[in-house]
Structure 1
Amino acid sequence: MNPIVRESPLGAPFLANLRKIAVLAWPLLIGQLAIIAFGVMDTAMVGRYSSTDLAALGLGASIYISVYIALTGILTALQPIVGLAYGAGRHAEIGEDVRQALWLAAALTAIGFLILYFPTPLLQLAHAPDALRERTVAYLQILAFGLPAALVFRVYSALATAVGHPRLVMFLQVGALALKIPLNLWLIFGGLGVPAAGGPGCALASTLLNWLLGATALLLLVKLEVFRPFAIFARFCWPVRKRQFALLKLGIPMGASYLIEVTSYTFMALFIARFGTTTLAGHQIAANLGAVLYMTPLSIGIATSTLVARALGARHDAAARTLARHGIVMACAIACCFCAIVLALRPLIVAGYTTNEHVTAAALPLVLIVAIYHICDALQVASAFVLRAYRIVIVPTAIYAVALWGVGLGGGYLLGFNIGGVVPPWLTGARGFWVANTLSLAVAGVALLFYWHNVSVRPVHADEARDAA
């Protein structure tokens, strides 16, 4: 039986809750860091290949992440749905929900493939030089072929995490990282009869590994004892309108939230590309560091959301509220520690990415902003995931739209391009975009926190939450 079901409705002491969250969060963190290390290695290795390829990687990765995160955000709806059913002991429903999620993944693949394989409309916004555009298109087209397997793996990840076995995901992600290193070296720089491919080479390595992960995930769903009670492949089924609607009703707003969050960075990269290749390369380093730091509060948010969903499924509303509060505090406290580390080691961190002195000069002031920005990021992601456990997705999406698109992207455009001619020089260019983005995350985090505080005082029972989903 799930330990959260046996827990008193009055909750648990602070340290006990931190231990529960940490038990789920550490495998998630290691797995997420393994995946984000794909991007770190791509950036570091391609940066040593050529600055043009590094800029193309930054531009292409921004577009790919926007598409990937939006689509996987929809599939992530499976996690709170399964978590609620698991906490309530409704195991028979889980297999059907997984089958329906796989059908949804197939439909989303068709949409994502078209966007990635024909990215010209998005690239036109960047006014990129022809050489940069050519390398970016090649990078995205290769990644398009790995998207189906990536979405299948996302379904597996959501299920394994929701039922309390994130290590089954972590082992695969760490294994993929071990293979990524030699594949990158081979395909980026060439060797053994294979010509050097630069940025597109790391895309090919990622695509091959995505297919390996997807195939392994399907095999484990069939073979592992932990998944057998759900009888996922006991029978074939076609898409069921009611269950697809339940996934989409929760998943579309979640995907929209992810899309708003990620496109704010995508369009920031597209606009920053107008300042030149060197500035864009510096931005890519700052963005990559921010993504690495983000993995810790993200893992804590996912773990907290899983435990809160189980508590709500077991009708332990007070325990759910306490777990949520402690998870948010934990994420923000660790973010403050990371902020201090980044401030102290800023030159060394940038030196690990590039040896180009011009790119270093462009990256250093941005990394300074990233240190503060991370604290705001931790607050918003932890609060957002807690709200998803409560099946609250519409209002957070509206908060993200106003904060990230309005304050972040709109404010960044005004500052970065010095609209009106009154912006101080230190706030123009890429720095203006990063300062506005930091402010937008602060606005979103505070708004989401206060909204959760109001929502959590109302009782939310398993049957009510299931109907809401």
Structure 2
Amino acid sequence: MKINVLNKKKIIYLSSILFPILITQLGLFSMNFFDTTMSGKVHPNDLAGVAIGSSLWVPVYTGLSGILLSVTPIVAQLVGAKKTKDVPFMVVQGLYVSIFISVLILILGFFVLDPILLNMGLENEVRYIAKWYLISLSLGIFPLFLYAVLRCFIDALGFTRVTMIITLTSLPINFVFNYLFIFGKFGFPALGGIGAGIASAITYWCITAIAIFIVNKRSPFKEYYIFKTFFPISFKAWGEILKIGVPIGLSIFFETSIFAAVTLLMSQYHTVTIASHQAAINFASFLYMLPLSISLALTIVIGQEVGAKRIRDARQYSYIGIGLALVLSIISAALIYFFRPEVASLYTSDNAVLKLTQDFLIYAIFFQLSDAIAAPIQGILRGYKDVNVTFIMALISYWVIGLPVGYLVATYTPLDAFGYWIGLISGLAAGAIGLSFRLYKIQRKYEVLNAENN
């Protein structure tokens, strides 16, 4: 009876952390969703251009911002261990790292963007839209990465509802500026897919401004004096952030970049295929927000439990999180299967794209189960600060197994473009299996250490 009561309390606490994270993730994803769907209403070229631009940007952003996710377990464990005086120092160092990363992206983008796009064999109009979509988006890189750190700080304290409110506040801004710049309303220029990049950049500035205000003016964040205490750059602290963050970033990059690579390989096909693939991937990514949110919530609660040396509680949270993700994955798979026509119509009114998108969505069903296992386990392992093996598994699963399988099936079987999706499914399944074994080993290790200390 006591165990059941304790588990009930854990479910309630995890849910209180999870729900705002889910709303936040859906909100952030909605910006890309608005970019894609609203651009698709202009012309298939705009949809394809934004698809290519997003395929280049998303793995770069998610991989490098993944480095900053290390702030969450670091702060969570400091809070769990009641070392709150060390929190502002680490957050400020995280902000310094975010500025460094932003500068690095802009410099690299200046030199490599044109060569990459020119070598992709795109139609001229699609290449032009992709290029200027990314250039427009780059105007918001600095605030976007600063916000990533501030969000990690706020979330690690358990106040995920705050970042939810920030994101929900910014959504109308993104939608309005998309409407103005994509379609050219109220005297604004009609820029199509390029306008989506401008709208997103403006939104990133708004999100960051709101976050800075809250961290400065609202409790309990203002008590940490994040922007009122000067801390010089500490490369030792950078080392701690990067030691945990780089493997996290690499594992995320390997996962997201394989989706980007598949989209880029799709550039050999007709624009209709590119647009259909992107629409289906976009919706699959939308559903991925469920296991991803569970993953982020688990990092917070398990980080706090491990910091407080409550190892058994950490393990119970992991079971609850994985179980919840599995249930939601079954619901997601059913949603895709029964509502394929309605989902496809969200992205396009072009008959050819509409039909092909529904075919791709069938394959997206098989993403759900693997994501329901792999994503929560990644969050759990980050809570333990176990990140090195995860990125090696991601490299093997996606690039040694997934992409080669996809290329072979697409090239040497009648499945053609669908073969790449079979490769993605294979990589995701391999990752889920490998991470499950890793989690078992880490939990056993911590239980042994805990028993020895007691």
Confirm whether residue 382 of structure 1 aligns to residue 337 of structure 2. no
Deviations 1:166-215 (A, max 9, x none): 11111111111111222111110102222210001011000011111112
Indicate which of 407, 431, 435 corresponds to 1:444.
431
Corresponding letter in the other structure for 2:127: R
Confirm whether residue 22 of structure 1 aligns to residue 15 of structure 2. yes
Secondary structure at the aligned position of 1:319 is classed as: helix
Seen in structure 2, the aligned counterparts of structure 1 residues 347 and 291 have a Cα distance that, compared at 3 Å, is same
Match of residue 216 from structure 1: 210
Indicate which of 82, 85, 89 corresponds to 2:78.
85
Corresponding letter in the other structure for 2:50: L
Confirm whether residue 39 of structure 1 aligns to residue 32 of structure 2. yes
Q: Distance between the aligned counterparts of 1:123 and 1:14, measured in 2?
A: 52
Give the Å deviation of 1:125: 4.7
Q: Distance between the aligned counterparts of 1:462 and 1:171, measured in 2?
A: 40
Give the Å deviation of 1:246: 0.3
Q: Distance between the aligned counterparts of 1:129 and 1:165, measured in 2?
A: 46
Match of residue 97 from structure 1: 90
Structure 2: which 5+ residue stretches go unaligned? none
Indicate which of 228, 245, 253 corresponds to 2:247.
253
Match of residue 267 from structure 2: 273
Match of residue 228 from structure 1: 222
Match of residue 299 from structure 2: 305
Deviations 1:141-184 (A, max 9, x none): 11111100000110111011100001111111111111122211
Indicate which of 277, 283, 286 corresponds to 1:289.
283
Give the Å deviation of 1:74: 0.5
Matches within 5 A, 1:45-444: 45-117=38-110, 118-418=112-412, 423=413, 425=414, 427-429=415-417, 431-444=418-431
- Aligned-residue CA RMSD in angstroms? 1.8
Q: Could you tell me the TM-score, scaled by structure 2's length?
A: 0.95
Give the Å deviation of 1:462: 12
Q: Distance between the aligned counterparts of 1:402 and 1:382, measured in 2?
A: 19
C-alpha contact (below 8 Å) 1:116/1:143 kept by paired residues: no
C-alpha contact (below 8 Å) 1:253/1:394 kept by paired residues: yes
Match of residue 441 from structure 2: 454
Corresponding letter in the other structure for 2:55: S
Q: Distance between the aligned counterparts of 2:18 and 2:117, measured in 1?
A: 37
Q: Distance between the aligned counterparts of 2:173 and 2:295, measured in 1?
A: 28
Q: Distance between the aligned counterparts of 1:162 and 1:152, measured in 2?
A: 16
Secondary structure at the aligned position of 1:225 is classed as: coil
Q: Distance between the aligned counterparts of 1:329 and 1:406, measured in 2?
A: 29
Q: Distance between the aligned counterparts of 1:410 and 1:246, measured in 2?
A: 35
C-alpha contact (below 8 Å) 1:373/1:441 kept by paired residues: yes
> Is the deviation greater in 396-405 or in 116-125?
116-125
Q: Distance between the aligned counterparts of 1:232 and 1:193, measured in 2?
A: 41
Q: Distance between the aligned counterparts of 2:217 and 2:6, measured in 1?
A: 38
Q: Distance between the aligned counterparts of 1:352 and 1:267, measured in 2?
A: 24
Q: Could you tell me the TM-score, scaled by structure 1's length?
A: 0.92
Give the Å deviation of 1:124: 4.0
Q: Distance between the aligned counterparts of 1:100 and 1:130, measured in 2?
A: 43
Give the Å deviation of 1:11: 9.3
Give the Å deviation of 1:48: 0.9
